[in-house]
A and B are shown apart, each in its own frame.
Chain A
Amino acid sequence: MTTTRAIANGNMPDKEYGEPVIELTAARKVYRSGTIEFEALRGVDLEIRQGEYVAIMGPSGSGKSTLMNILGCLDTLTTGHYRLAGHDVDDLDEAELAEIRNKEIGFVFQQFNLLPSLEAWRNVELPLMYARVPGHERRARAERALERVGLGSRFVNKPGELSGGQQQRVAVARALVGEPTMILADEPTGNLDSVSTEDVLGLFDELHDLGRTIVLITHELEVAQRARRIVRVKDGLIQGDTAEGALLATVAGGAA
């Protein structure tokens, strides 16, 4: 897929952003169910740099979640190579992958995925627990993260006592708390109404301004337009990449 790569590299604003965080080369993912094989990613090259805010867009079944699972080190490639923040992820075992996920990635899921029995701050501290941060420091950092997402008064509420938008903000706080290299969000607004969607996207804007790397997966153009770069996926291939302001404007203009 040399053409895709040419577009991506040709439009990469090297000066504005830092070191590469994601380097995906000739990535193929083949699902096998019984004798049937399905190629969900058919040779994807993608580079995302430190501080970028990227939306991955595409129709249903195009391979967005597959790509996100690969980027999140939740699944491994059939062929191709993936480097995350300088680590070669291809040949790591499950324990090493767990450590990479813990250090480098903050997940935000469509379903929030909070543990219902735990108070908000207990949910937020989970990544720190697996990073073996001592207890008192965990609590302080969890509370700071909750304040950061505007839930300073909701430390001890359980997820069931919070609205959907608030739950997703707890999830964002959880994604932030370990100071990961990148925040990876799969349809983070898929279950939210327009007000809560604006809450969460506003949060992402602020985080981007603070220099965080954000990769957001969505099929909604309005959501994608909040990002500084849109990568379009279709049938397991990258169809377009608006790496520059000019291109972004075209896409935004086209939609408006």
Chain B
Amino acid sequence: MNWSETLRTSWAAVRSHGLRSLLTVLGILIGIAAVILTVGLGLGTQKDVSASISSLGSNLLIVSPGSSTDSSGVRGGFGTSATLTAADATALASSVNAPDIEGVAAEKSTSLALEANDTNWTTTVTGTTASWLDVRSRDLIAGEFITDEDQASQAAVTVLGSETATELFGTTNVVGQSVTIDGHTFEVVGVLASAGSDSSSNLDDVAIVPLSTAANQLVGGTTANSVSTIYLKAASDGQLAAAYQEAEAVLLNLHSISSADSADFTISSQNALVDTATSIYQTLTVLLTGVAALSLLVGGIGVMNIMLVSVTERTREIGLRKALGAPPWAIRRQFLVEAAILGLTGGVLGAVLGMGAALALPGVVGSSIVISPEAVGLSIGVAIAIGLIFGVYPATRAARLAPIDALRSE
């Protein structure tokens, strides 16, 4: 009995119980789908993280008010307090206090309604300084960015994100146009090149104004001096740690806080972003791996169970084949191949389900899922192996049946 005969016979046996075979491989199917999703999610997260790192620049530090990332979580409520000021930004910009920090850009953001030619559009209005463009690694497609003079004179000028410009004017060719922000008329002096989205916001839907203008005309009040975020650019990737320590020292000193443990600000880097993404991914991975392992185990036991049933049902056939000269290894191989076919069927169907889910799920979980052909191939291999492993016992039982007992059975 050669391989093609064995395959034909086993396939016919699997096919003759179509529904039963399908139900049997359900566990393997789910397990393989979970494996493909797990791997896809891992690769997807990696892709997302590296995309957001390249969109922000890898030598960037982000200072936020409050200490919401305190490990104990006790002072988590500080996240919204207005503890950072424009003065902090100025201090950090000093090359004496912080030689490893090359650029500083404070941001003061608020959501406001914009109006142009009777078109209304609500967007994030960000007050900042001339260094922002360099610190945030952004480019212009038209006009120029706000200048130090604009900052000094609280000029009513704005630089629009490409999407904002399109929403308001239908085009990005809008330098020289006027836009009304919160009742004040601003002149559009530039348009930002598109940069896509990071994890939290659309980088193309924004209106940039001078920080002083934002503080005095658009926000005002007691929070006028506060800023929502300060971005720091280290002189190089290698100086990131030094920049971090300098920034921390300067701010603690400025805020008269003696211990870093009670800081009223948080400095995070891209590494933190990576860590967050990784921890989300790890949680999902543990979950999916658990699902996969359990399903594959249950699926394997299902295969074993149905193979034992199959051996019992076909005892007479086994006896006949033995009487006609089938050696034990041929019988064993026949049932092993049958179990492997069950595994393969589960694997292929699971791969199809996994790939389908990989197409449908990113919209739901908010993370990319990347299908790798290697993972699909490998998991189908795993499915076949599970069929084989759990087929060993039933196949061995079939091979060991005494021909005389097998022939006599009804």
Contacts and interface: CB of A to CB of B under 8 A. Distances in A.
A99 B316 contact: no
Given A74-B403, A117-B16, A94 B327 contact: yes
A131 B404 contact: no
B328 to A, nearest CB: 5
Interface residues of A, number: 24
B93 interface: no
A102 B320 CA distance: 11
B237 to A, nearest CB: 67
Nearest to A126: B324
A94 B316 contact: no
Interface string A72-107: 101100000000000000000011001101110001
A95 B320 contact: no
Contact of B325 (A69, A99, A117): A99
A1 interface: no
Contact of B323 (A94, A107, A117, A131): A107
A132 B2 CA distance: 7
B7 to A, nearest CB: 13
Interface string A115-151: 1010000000011011110000000000000000000
A129 B321 CA distance: 10
Interface string B322-344: 11111111100000000000000
A98 B404 contact: no
A136 B297 CA distance: 42
A130 B320 contact: no
Contacts of B402: 75
A130 B325 contact: yes
Contacts of A212: none
A174 interface: yes
A163 interface: no
A113 interface: yes
A74 B403 CA distance: 6
B327 A98 contact: yes
A54 to B, nearest CB: 20
Contact of B327 (A75, A95, A127): A95
B2 A98 contact: no
Given A117-B16, A130-B330, A69 B404 contact: yes
A102 B5 CA distance: 17
Contacts of B325: 98-99, 101-103, 127, 130-131, 178
B96 interface: no
B1 A74 contact: no
B317 to A, nearest CB: 6
Given A113-B316, A129-B5, A95 B329 contact: yes
B12 interface: yes
Contacts of B403: 74
A117 B12 contact: yes
Given A113-B316, A115-B317, A130 B407 contact: no
A98 B328 contact: yes
A94 B328 contact: yes
A115 B322 CA distance: 13
A130 B329 contact: no
A174 B404 contact: no
B323 A130 contact: no
A113 B320 contact: yes
A117 B16 CA distance: 9
Interface in A166-186: 174, 178
B404 A130 contact: no
A107 B407 CA distance: 12
A178 B325 CA distance: 11
Contacts of A74: 323, 403-404, 407
A130 B317 contact: no
A178 B322 CA distance: 15
A139 to B, nearest CB: 12
A142 B320 CA distance: 18
Contacts of B404: 69, 74-75
Interface in B54-93: none
Interface of B: 1-2, 5, 12, 16, 316-317, 320-330, 402-404, 407
CB-based closest 3 A-B pairs: A102-B325, A130-B325, A98-B327
Interface of A: 69, 72, 74-75, 94-95, 98-99, 101-103, 107, 109, 113, 115, 117, 126-127, 129-132, 174, 178
17 contacts: A72-B323, A74-B323, A74-B404, A75-B404, A94-B328, A101-B322, A101-B323, A113-B320, A113-B323, A113-B407, A127-B325, A129-B1, A130-B1, A130-B327, A130-B330, A131-B325, A132-B2
Given A75-B402, A94-B328, 6 more contacts: A74-B404, A94-B327, A98-B325, A117-B16, A130-B327, A131-B325
